[in-house]
Structure 1
Amino acid sequence: MKDIVNFLFEVGMLQKTPRTGFQFLGSGCESVAEHILRTIFIGYTLCKLEKDVDESRVLKMCLFHDLPEARTGDMNYVNKKYVTVDEEKAVRELTETLFFGIDIKSCIDEFNERKTREALIAGDADQLALILQLKEYGDLGNKYSKEWIDFAIQRLCTENARETARRIMETDSSDWWFKDKGEWWINGSRRMNSGSGD
Structure 2
Amino acid sequence: MKRDVEFLYELGALRLMPRQWSRFHMPAVANNSEHMFRVTWIALVIAAREGGELDTAKIMKMAMLHDIAESRTGDVDYLARQYVTRDENSALEDMLTDTSMRAELAQMWQEYEARQSPEAKIVKDADTLDIDFELCEQASSGHTLPAQWKSQRDQVGKTRLFTDSAKKLQQEIWNTNPHAWHVDSPKNRLHGGDWKDTDHDS
Q: TM-score range by the shorter chain?
A: 0.7 to 0.9
Counterpart of 1:41 in structure 2: which amino acid?
Answer: W
2:162 equivalent to 1:157? yes
**Counterpart residue identity of residue 44, structure 2:** Y
- Provide TM-score, normalisation by structure 2: 0.85
Residue matched to 2:135: 134
What is the CA RMSD across the aligned residues, in angstroms?
2.3
1:149 and 1:23 mapped to 2: Cα distance? 19
Quick one: structure 1 residues 78 and 185, their matched pair in 2 at CA, closer, same or farther if it must change by over 3 Å? Answer: same
Paired residues in the alignment total 191
Alignment gaps of 5+ in structure 2? 197-202
- Tell me whether 1:73 sits opposite 2:74 in the alignment: yes
**Quick check: 2:59–2:120 contact (8 Å CA) kept in 1?**
yes
Task: Give the direction of change, closer, same or farther, for the CA distance of 1:19–1:92 in structure 2 (3 Å limit).
Answer: same
Deviates more, 1:153-162 or 1:116-125: 153-162
Looking at structure 2, the residues matched to 75 and 149 of structure 1 have their Cα atoms a distance apart, in angstroms, of 21
Distance 1:122 1:186 in 2: 37
In the alignment, does 2:122 pair up with 1:121?
Answer: yes
Q: Is the 8 A contact 1:131 1:152 kept in 2?
A: yes
User: Take 2:90 and 2:192, find their aligned partners in 1: how far apart are those partners?
Assistant: 59
What is aligned with 1:143?
144
TM-score of the two chains, using structure 1 as the length reference = 0.87
Aligned to 1:52: 53
| 1:91 aligned partner | 92
* Residues 1:149 and 1:121: Cα distance change in structure 2 (over 3 Å): farther
- The aligned counterpart of 2:19 is 19
Matched-pair contact (CA < 8 Å) for 2:42–2:126: yes
Unaligned runs of 5+ in 1: 192-198
Matched, 1:35 2:71: no
Q: 1:57 to 1:143 in 2, by over 3 A?
A: same
Residue 65 of structure 1 contacts residue 107 of structure 1 at CA under 8 Å; is this kept in 2?
A: no
The offset of 1:26, in angstroms, is 4.5
Q: Deviations for 1:69-121, whole angstroms, at most 9, x for unmatched residues?
A: 11111111112111111111101111121132121112222222212111110
d(CA) in 1 for partners of 2:37 and 2:90?
Answer: 25
